[in-house]
Amino acid sequence: MNFQNAEFEMAAGTAGQLPKATLPEIAFSGRSNVGKSSLLNRLVNRKALARTSATPGKTATINFYRLPACRFVDLPGYGYARVSKSEKNRWAELVNGYFTQERRLSLVLQLVDMRHKPTADDLQMIDFLQAGGYPFAIVCTKSDKLNKSETMAQTKLFTELFSGRGIAFYPFSAVKGSGLDEVKALIERSIEG
Ligand code: GDP
């Protein structure tokens, strides 16, 4: 699949603004600052298709990127502490709206920071995806920030947390590009399958 010809399509601030589900969609989910924009930019080999956030939690829209064979759907980041209750409710309404619509969802990539234990919000999102039967996998971001023994310890943790539940996880570094081919292959398989 050609990942290069990606163009920003639109931003939806409410569920009513979501575009018609005409193409297979790959959705990207994760807490603010987890490295979602960096992954998106790596995938499409662009410096700044998706804006890497200087102010975490600012993106409260669902952003759509058009590729030749699919759409990338950048879900708004969650878990930013300094967000008002009404803003949190808006997030929930928007994201729930996306997941409850009839869409051609091929895959959700759920990002978690490889350096840490998944947050309560991460685990809630993962439970939601699994309970809803959505096709998803976990991408463990910032893998370059771990040394060898930390990598082993975190791999053990993620294996314990997820492998028993049949959930696959993929270490990834936007800085080094490691894991990029695996994530691309996963996306391609999800669209073909
Ligand atoms: P977003 O809020 O989830 O879109 O996160 P960003 O992509 O904006 O990344 C948040 C911060 O983490 C930025 O300072 C990035 O440079 C940094 N970052 C993202 N991915 C990586 C990575 O793989 N390795 C390292 N070392 N830093 C990363």
CATH number at residue 54: 3.40.50.300
Residue 186 belongs to some domain of the structure: yes
Residue type, position 44, single letter = V
How remote is the C-alpha of 87 from its chain's centroid? Answer: 20
Q: Is the CB of residue 70 below 6 angstroms from any atom belonging to ligand 1?
A: no
Q: Which residue has the least CA distance to atom 22 on ligand 1?
A: 142
- The whole-number pLDDT of residue 95 equals 95
Residue 123 belongs to some domain of the structure: yes
Compute mean pLDDT per 10 residues along the chain, 193 residues long, and list them.
89 93 96 94 86 58 93 91 84 94 96 97 97 97 98 98 96 98 97 86
Q: How far apart are CA 143 and CA 178, in angstroms?
A: 8
Residue 1 belongs to some domain of the structure: no
Q: Is the CB of residue 140 below 6 angstroms from any atom belonging to ligand 1?
A: no
Residue 187 belongs to some domain of the structure: yes
Q: Which residue has the least CA distance to atom 2 on ligand 1?
A: 33
Does the structure's ipTM exceed the value 0.95? yes
Q: Nearest Cα to 123, choosing from 177, 78, 88?
A: 78
Q: Is the CB of residue 34 below 6 angstroms from any atom belonging to ligand 1?
A: yes
Residue 169 belongs to some domain of the structure: yes
Task: List 10's β-bridge partners, or say none.
Answer: 64
Distance 54 CA to ligand 1 centre (A): 10
What are the distances in angstroms from CA 101 to CA 15, 117, 192? 9, 31, 22
Q: Is the CB of residue 44 below 6 angstroms from any atom belonging to ligand 1?
A: no
Structural domain total, the chain: 1
Prediction pTM value: 0.95
**What number does the ligand 1 atom closest to the CA of 38 have?**
7
Both tokens of residue 77?
């980041």
Confirm if 31 and 78 have CB atoms less than 8 A apart: yes
Residue 18 belongs to some domain of the structure: yes
Residue 105 belongs to some domain of the structure: yes
Parent domain of 148: 7-192
| DSSP code per residue over 78-135 | B--TT--HHHHHHHHHHHHHHHHS---EEEEEEEEETTSPPPHHHHHHHHHHHHTT--
3-state helix, strand and coil shares in percent for the chain, rounded to the nearest 5:
40, 20, 40
Q: Nearest Cα to 134, choosing from 93, 157, 100, 111?
A: 100
**What number does the ligand 1 atom closest to the CA of 31 have?**
3
Residue type, position 177, single letter = G
Q: Is the CB of residue 52 below 6 angstroms from any atom belonging to ligand 1?
A: yes
Q: How far apart are CA 90 and CA 170, in angstroms?
A: 30
Distance 79 CA to ligand 1 centre (A): 15
Residue 2 belongs to some domain of the structure: no
Q: Nearest Cα to 35, choosing from 117, 140, 169, 132?
A: 140
